[in-house]
Amino acid sequence: TYDLGPDEQQAFDRVATAMLAGDYYPPDAVAFSGRFREENRPLRVGDRVLQVAPMGPVSAIRLHSCVEIFVAERTDSRASLGYVTTRLHYGRGQWRADLSRTGGRLQLRVQSVALPASLLFWIGLPVARMLQLRARKRGVENLIARARGS
């Protein structure tokens, strides 16, 4: 669980909107694209999302994978986004982020389970794990910055 700062309406709105707009991660970590972008709408359950992850901050090598959204919801006090991997992904698993207003603070809980599902993932396991941890860190940093309005 990560503390994103004081529970202010504008901060909650900025973070929840970014999550459901497919902007949880900054593009230098993982970029989301799909029909939701073409239709200019928030993510919803059943959407397929193409994830593009650069191998490094300035790398021309990018990994492409596909996930399916299984939760995308928002209330006045909570927002959740989650996806499962598809056959067009190097791993098998699921990821979920839950934003909540708790005790005057914005809290973000991130849960994930991932297993290798391809020979490429097994061979590159140390690199794959490094990219997963980097994406997680950059995603949280991105949402903290959005909560602060920057």
Tokens of residue 103, six digits: 């005790």
Close Cβ partners of 66 (under 8 Å, ≥ 6 residues apart): 48, 49, 50, 51, 85, 86, 88, 89
Residue 99 pLDDT: 98
Short-list 9, 29, 8, 43, CA closest to 140 = 29
Residue 16 pLDDT: 97
Say how far apart CA 48 and CA 97 lie, in whole Å: 17
Say how far apart CA 119 and CA 30 lie, in whole Å: 22
Say how far apart CA 125 and CA 131 lie, in whole Å: 10
CA 87, 91, 92, 97 dihedral sign is negative
Residue 29 pLDDT: 85
Q: What is the DSSP letter of 16?
A: H
pTM of the model: 0.86
Residue 89 pLDDT: 67
Residue 108 has pLDDT above 90, yes or no: yes
Residue 58 has pLDDT above 70, yes or no: no
Close Cβ partners of 36 (under 8 Å, ≥ 6 residues apart): 22, 42, 43, 44, 47, 49
Residue 120 pLDDT: 72
Residue 59 has pLDDT above 70, yes or no: no
Report, as an integer, the average pLDDT of 73-92.
88
Report, as an integer, the average pLDDT of 134-138.
89
Residue 125 has pLDDT above 80, yes or no: no
